[in-house]
Structure 1
Amino acid sequence: MEEKQYELRLYVAGRTQKSVTALSNLKKYCEEHLMGQYSIEVIDLLENPQLAEGDQILAIPTLVKKVPEPVRKIIGDLSNKEKVLVGLDIRTKSE
């Protein structure tokens, strides 16, 4: 079975506490569950506000899972580990 590659985008606005926490939580979960199977692209909307439109970002921080499909969005600092793992299809609710 081929391992899935996860392409993740984290939209932030500057280096706020919430943004830093979201990135740190995301990296921790990816290292625990997706070792070597993920890439994280951090997009700062203060520097590139036009990029918010493509993924229809309405709140920040927002994590977007581009690949594998379906595309999923998780809003907030990603501190709820179970919600993040279920949202990224890494784990099912029953696990």
Structure 2
Amino acid sequence: MTIQSILGAIVIGAVIGAIGRLLLPGRQAIGWILTVVVGIVAALIGTAIAQVLGVETTPGIDWIELVMQVVLAIVGVGLVAGLRRGGTRV
């Protein structure tokens, strides 16, 4: 792994996490750093799933892979927000 690939993963993860958080209705009780972490994990898992399913890579944006990543980010942000909310109520 190079510094460029690590920085690229962070930037893409931040974008995917932010999109997932914006598309999830309601207020999420998680910070932006945790949103970025969820986005990075969602981007990595979404890419792996797309490769397993044989989604063809095309020049430009791979829309199917991007949709998978955003859906995983929505689910991840929802799960993390739910776990954090459940653990902080007294």
TM-score w.r.t. structure 2 length? 0.32
Q: Which has more helix, going by share of residues?
A: 2
TM-score w.r.t. structure 1 length? 0.30
Q: Which has more strand, going by share of residues?
A: 1
